Amino acid sequence: MTELILALDLLDRKQAARVAESCAPFIDAVKVGYPLVLATGLSIVDDLSGLGLPLIADFKVADIPNTNRLISEAVFSAGFDAIIAHGFVGADAARACVEVAHNHGGAAYIVAEMSHPGATEFFHGGVAERLATLAVSCRADGIIAPATRPDRISRLREIVGEKTIYSPGVGAQGGDLDTVARLVDGVIVGRSIYEAEDPAAEAERLSRIRR
Ligand code: O7M
């Protein structure tokens, strides 16, 4: 089964809660990032916790180990179940996020390669492969890999083996749902769902990957 993860990139608390609630039966987790948390505060977690779904904090954490640790503590104390961090800051910094996550019984994922066109400037030429290797050595739970480049997902799968791969970039960014769903453990979808006239109906349509 491939998971469907809703990227809840909205700026309005009530709209975010409404979309998440209506989509809840058709999704496996909710990813919350800077847009929603900066607009509403960390208390948005309280609004979403009643959904009974894992909440993933996408702060792409990228600081020194001590600051990464403090950020991760704040994330898990707020009630999140998982955190996403960058790996380019080095194994010690990434490991700080992983350790805090595991101490809280949560999970940590490392960005191996991003989905937008500009990502090729720095992530290609061996960097994404090194980040995937780092994720394995830091005992991260998985990586983020681009739905816009299925060939790259396959390459990164060779490195991370059975570890989880979550993949954003389906729909609005051009990635094909069915192609990507066969390669990854979870697909992260934002605009295709929350900008749809009927977000729940769109989530239900996309949830065919869960079967
Ligand atoms: O479906 P979209 O394009 O509206 O949203 C995609 C979501 O995935 C959005 O929250 C992005 O910030 C996120 N994302 C990417 O689009 N590309 C990446 O390379 C990485 C992420 C991400 O989730 O990183 C953890």
**Number of residues in the chain:** 211
- Given a contact cutoff of 8 angstroms between Cβ atoms, the answer to whether 85 and 94 are in contact is yes
Rounded to the nearest whole angstrom, what is the distance from the C-alpha of residue 145 to the centroid of ligand 1?
Answer: 10
pLDDT by residue for the chain (211 residues), tens digit each?
999 999 999 999 999 999 999 999 999 999 999 999 999 999 999 999 999 999 999 999 999 999 999 999 999 999 999 999 999 999 999 999 999 999 999 999 999 999 999 999 999 999 999 999 999 999 999 999 999 999 999 999 999 999 999 999 999 999 999 999 999 999 999 999 999 999 999 999 999 998 8
Q: Is 171 in the pocket of ligand 1 (CB under 6 A)?
A: yes
> Strand, coil or helix: what is 91?
helix
Look up the CATH number of domain 3-209: 3.20.20.70
Q: Which residue, among 73, 68, 114, 125, has the nearest Cα to 91 in the 3D structure? A: 68
Region label for 187, one of left (φ > 0), alpha (ψ between -120 and 50) or beta (otherwise): beta
**Domain spans, the chain:** 3-209
0.95 surpassed by pTM:
yes
ipTM above 0.85, yes or no: yes
pLDDT score at 211? 80
Buried-exposed string 54-83: b where 16+ CB fall within 10 A, e elsewhere: bbbbbbebbbebeebbebbeebbebebbbb
Mutate to test the pocket of ligand 1, among 58, 149, 177, 193 (most ligand atoms within 8 A of CB): 58
Residues acting as catalytic residues = 58, 60, 63
pLDDT score at 100? 98
Placement of tokens 């709209």 in the chain: 15
Q: Which residue, among 31, 23, 26, has the nearest Cα to 7 in the 3D structure? A: 31
